[in-house]
């Protein structure tokens, strides 16, 4: 019994180490090339003026994180704090996302975090359809380069934009969907869940439990150990 328990612990640590290394042996030049291409996309985003958001923003927010991440978190768009700093999810919602990532047994630098649109809409209004259409190619290219095993769509707007449907988040969350970034690319698994900002506005044990159930499914799908967080 003790040997079996020890073997389980060793296997869990091995799986975690495998996660932090990207789940595969990556040549440093390959990882460097992906990082360079992501930086080139970021430069395009900084210069982008395809819609009015490019002239109204303080800073564009291309995204940041591990270029070989197995999980990419995708939100709707930058808020005031993100617009001020040029980084994704750094305000109150970002702090909650950091806690969710930590509860999964991971660190922010293990994953990649970005948004559907790269500039803040005035007064945090919903992005217009044409703004999403103009910005979506940047995200598609990012996802193609990173090639994550799972995309976590944070909130209805992100999920709808990636899945091209109008279903409410309550119908989309809790199950895996398929997202294809472009022609000739393999589908990626997508898990939709509530946006951290929604949790802040509608905090309850039930909503928190639903998000944690979604994240547990992500960990199980990646064959990673599931921490005991959230269990009573």
Q: Kindly report, residue by residue over 142-158, the tens digit of the pLDDT.
A: 999 999 999 999 999 99
Rounded to an integer, the average pLDDT of 22-26 is: 41
The reported pLDDT for the residue numbered 229 is 61
Residues with Cβ within 8 Å of 230's Cβ and at least 6 positions away in sequence, in order, are: 103, 208, 209, 212
Q: What pairing do the DSSP bridges indicate for beta strands 71-75 and 112-115?
A: parallel
**What percentage of the chain has pLDDT greater than the value 90?**
80
The reported pLDDT for the residue numbered 29 is 58
How many CB atoms are located within 10 Å of the residue 59 CB?
A: 16
Rounded to an integer, the average pLDDT of 64-79 is: 97
**What percentage of the chain has pLDDT greater than the value 70?**
86
What torsion, rounded to 10 degrees, do the Cα atoms 36, 182, 172, 86 define? 30
Rounded to an integer, the average pLDDT of 183-195 is: 91
The reported pLDDT for the residue numbered 32 is 82
- Cα end-to-end distance, the chain, whole Å: 25
Domain residue limits, the chain: 2-221
Give, in words, the CATH class of 2-221: alpha beta
DSSP bridge pairs for 73: 113, 152
Q: How many CA atoms lie within 13 A of 197 on its CB side?
A: 15
The reported pLDDT for the residue numbered 20 is 42
Rounded to an integer, the average pLDDT of 104-120 is: 97
């Amino acid at each position: 019994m003790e040997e079996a328990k020890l073997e389980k612990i060793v296997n869990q640590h091995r799986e975690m180490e495998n996660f932090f290394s990207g789940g595969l042996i990556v040549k440093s030049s390959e990882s460097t090339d992906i990082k360079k291409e992501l930086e080139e996309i970021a430069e395009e985003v900084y210069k982008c003026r395809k819609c009015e958001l490019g002239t109204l923003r303080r800073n564009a927010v291309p995204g940041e994180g591990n270029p070989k991440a197995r999980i990419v978190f995708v939100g709707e768009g930058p808020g005031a704090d993100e617009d001020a700093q040029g980084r994704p999810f750094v305000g109150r919602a970002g702090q909650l996302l950091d806690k969710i990532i930590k509860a999964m047994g991971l660190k922010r630098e293990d994953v990649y975090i970005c948004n559907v649109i790269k500039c803040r809409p005035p007064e945090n209004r919903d992005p217009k359809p044409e703004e999403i259409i103009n910005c979506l190619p940047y995200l598609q290219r990012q996802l193609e380069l990173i090639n994550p095993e799972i995309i976590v769509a944070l909130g209805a707007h992100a999920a709808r934009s990636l899945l091209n449907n109008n279903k409410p988040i309550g119908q989309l969350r809790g199950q895996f969907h398929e997202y294809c970034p472009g022609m000739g690319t393999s589908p990626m698994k997508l898990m939709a869940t509530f946006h951290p900002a929604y949790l802040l506005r509608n905090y309850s044990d039930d909503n928190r439990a639903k998000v944690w159930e979604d994240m547990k499914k992500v960990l199980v799908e990646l064959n990673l150990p599931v921490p005991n967080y959230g269990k009573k």
